[in-house]
Every structure is written in C-alpha cells, then in structure tokens.
C-alpha cells in the first residue's frame, strides 16, 4: 500500500513539474531571417530586439530549422578556424553557434562559416537573457 501511494505521489509530482516546464518553455525566441540577415528576439511574444547578423557565406550555409541551445560559453575559440574568438557563444547544432564578432562592418551580409554572428554587445545581451531564462527556454528558428 505504501509503495503504491509513493508511486502515485511521485507520478503526480513529476507531471506537475513537467507541466510547469512546458508552461515556461519558449519564453525566448531568436528568429534568424537569412535572406534579410537579421535576428529578431522575442520574449513571451513581445519583440525586444531586431539586430543585423551575418550568416554563412557562399559554400558555408547556415543550417535552417528550429533548434534548442545545447551549451553556452562566455568565450569560446574555434578549434576548426584558427582559434578564432567566439564571444558569448550559444551552440545550437553540433558546431554551429550564435556568437559575437569583431567584424561588425560585415553584419547585414553573409560572411561566416555557417554560424550566426552578432555585434558582440548584442550577443552579450542574448547570452545574459539566456542565463536568466535558462537554456531550455530559448527556441532558435532559422529560415
């Protein structure tokens, strides 16, 4: 009897926490428009930011689709591209990330090896928002 009651209680708690997580999921949306080379950041459906980005240049496509971030690093260095700095990196698909860049003059045009580049100050804003909201509460849509 005690075992059955414990199992039911655990199931109810699990369902409650799962429902809470579902309710809070997708608080943040980062929508990357590849043709316009922009990112729109929304929180709870309200547009907060609209920034220029650089996505993949010819021969280095930025993957399209809907993604969740898998990890984030305040400062990362590319192992593939000459130890290039990737400040405020938010990785979402294997080696692809949203990150800051010092090449701000190229923002608004395709210029990356497939990552989504932002002005470093904007990357920091997104990074801090994600720290506050939690890794699972950002949906990244790239079209």
Phi, psi of 49 (to 5 degrees): -140, 150
Angstrom distance (rounded) from CA 123 to CA 88: 6
Q: What φ, ψ does residue 102 adopt, rounded to 5°?
A: -90, -10
Residues that are catalytic: 99, 115
Name the token pair of 98.
């949203």
Q: Give CA–CA dist 63/73, Å, rounded.
A: 20
């Amino acid at each position: 009897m005690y075992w059955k009651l414990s199992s039911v209680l655990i199931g109810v708690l699990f369902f409650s926490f799962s429902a809470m997580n579902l309710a809070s999921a997708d608080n943040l949306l980062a929508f990357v428009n590849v043709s316009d080379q922009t990112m729109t950041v929304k929180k709870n459906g309200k547009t907060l930011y609209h920034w220029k980005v650089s996505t993949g240049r010819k021969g280095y496509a930025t993957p399209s689709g809907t993604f969740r971030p898998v990890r984030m690093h305040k400062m990362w260095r590319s192992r593939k591209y000459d130890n290039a700095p990737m400040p405020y990196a938010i990785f979402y698909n294997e080696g692809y990330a949203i990150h800051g860049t010092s090449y701000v003059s190229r923002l608004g045009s395709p210029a990356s090896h497939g990552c989504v580049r932002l002005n470093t100050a904007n990357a920091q804003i997104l990074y801090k928002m994600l720290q506050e909201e939690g890794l699972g509460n950002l949906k990244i849509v790239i079209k």
